Amino acid sequence: MTSARSYPATIAAAVAHETVVRKSRFLTHVEPVTSVEQAEAVIAGIRKRAWDANHNCTAMVTGLLGDQARSSDDGEPSGTAGIPMLEVLRRRGLTDVVAVVTRYFGGVKLGAGGLVRAYSSAVSETLDQAALVRRAALRQVTHEVPHADAGRYDNLLREWAAHHGATLGEPTYAATATLELWAPQTELPRLTDDLAAASAGAVVPVLGVERIVDVPA
């Protein structure tokens, strides 16, 4: 694993959206998941609630690199629902996400092309409402500061993180306050310099492990 690797993003929370195409209702539910099993549980729950629907078509992408994918047309003509939904997730660069489009047939056939457009648009419009969470390989950096100065340094690190692709971790308090930051490897020299300037060299960052961290986009 290297800091230069790019990782697919995910979404922060479940979103739902409804569209109507030539009298057919398309109810879309997109939700973040952590595994195939969790995605299947989401699908099972929706199918149970929407037992009277004509179709509950699905698509999911899972895995840190988005290397696992599944889809289902659930009775629609082959290739007109699940795969178009999956392609939308792929184009958006997402992983650890499941999409379910529930269709209530309105009496007017859409044809293969119409179905592809309807299902892909349903997922795309729903994702337009989602808050994205990007993922990056970040290095843990901790800073020990006196309790009296913890607020000032917390504000400094919060501001610094917003401009350098970093995110704050959880502070701990013992004899001193330990502030945690997760930052890209390439930004660590700048962080060291900025902290030295702000503290007259009194605060020295301590490097920890590197891991994949979710960062609000």
Under the banding of pLDDT at 50, 70 and 90, the label for residue 217 is: low
DSSP for 115-140, written as a single string: HHHHHHHHHHHHHTTSPEEEEEEEEE
Under the banding of pLDDT at 50, 70 and 90, the label for residue 3 is: very low
Spacing of C-alpha 144 from chain mean position: 31
35/54 Cα distance (integer angstroms)? 27
175 and 96 Cβ atoms separated by less than 8 Å: no
**pLDDT at residue 15 above 90?**
yes
Digit-coded pLDDT (tens) for 156-215: 999 999 888 888 888 899 888 999 999 988 899 999 999 889 888 888 888 988 888 887
- What's the predicted TM-score (pTM) here? 0.77
Give the DSSP H or E segment for 38.
helix 36-49
Digit-coded pLDDT (tens) for 117-159: 999 999 999 999 999 998 888 999 999 998 888 899 999 999 9
44 and 163 Cβ atoms separated by less than 8 Å: no
